[in-house]
Amino acid sequence: MKSLLPLGLSILCFMGCSSPLTEETYREIQVEDVPKEIRIPSALWERIEGKEESHGDAAAPTSTESESSETSGALFMPVNVILREKTPGVLTEPLIRIVFPRGGGQVDFASYTTGKQGSFYVKFEWPEAEKAEDVSAWYDSKARRRKLDDGFWGAGCGRFYEITRGLKKEMSEEGLKVNTTRERHLTVLGGHFVFAMRKSHQNFVTQVTFKDSRLPVLFCEEL
């Protein structure tokens, strides 16, 4: 279930940095559905937990409805996504804030992009990120690597990376800038962004999945 609410507030972005909105209002989309089960590499969970890295490429299920053996008792936390136009008309609204429940959720760009070529920014916010310890961010790519006019784009299938330092820098500025020309944004964002933190001696995790249901051919598997 989704509800739309016009708001005029400030937001807390990734890693707890403050980023006031200059626009008077923005569109908030409140997502109440618990995200479906997703599959991410078990080696990624082992990295998050600080265990020795696995040399296998098997994927392990994780669910927000019950604790997974992969998360070792970690709690799920909420996460929000901010989409902001750089090119007017590239998004369905100039500024969109998507509020997910604990465990995160899915952003289907079929609902948020218009098909116009241009750029927009992506930011993440964690309502519970203040005073967090050992914050980390990871990208599990589910988008096919593509050769476009200016070279190769995307991480490709079956790859994941820690992106904590680079993403923190982007979030402290305008956000992660992506471009819709020839669907470059899908090749860059397609897949799972997994966030983990430690607070009060407890581990917390959440995730955001980016996809576009109109263009399944660009992805490694159904998201």
Supply the range of the domain harboring residue 213. 2-218
Q: Is residue 123 part of a domain?
A: yes
Query: Count of CB atoms within 10 A of residue 156's CB?
Result: 15
Instruction: List pLDDT tens digits, range 28-48.
Output: 999 987 766 666 778 888 888
Higher pLDDT, 77 or 222: 77
Q: Is residue 16 part of a domain?
A: yes
Instruction: Please answer whether residues 153 and 190 qualify as being in contact, where contact means their C-beta atoms are separated by less than 8 angstroms.
Output: no
C-alpha triplet 88, 90, 92: angle, nearest 5°:
100
Q: Is residue 143 part of a domain?
A: yes
Instruction: Please answer whether residues 96 and 114 qualify as being in contact, where contact means their C-beta atoms are separated by less than 8 angstroms.
Output: no
Confidence of residue 99 (pLDDT cuts 50, 70, 90): very high
What does pTM read for this prediction? 0.81
Query: Count of CB atoms within 10 A of residue 69's CB?
Result: 11
Q: Please give the tally of structural domains in the chain.
A: 1
Q: Is residue 6 part of a domain?
A: yes
Confidence of residue 199 (pLDDT cuts 50, 70, 90): confident
Instruction: List pLDDT tens digits, range 106-125.
Output: 999 999 999 999 999 999 99
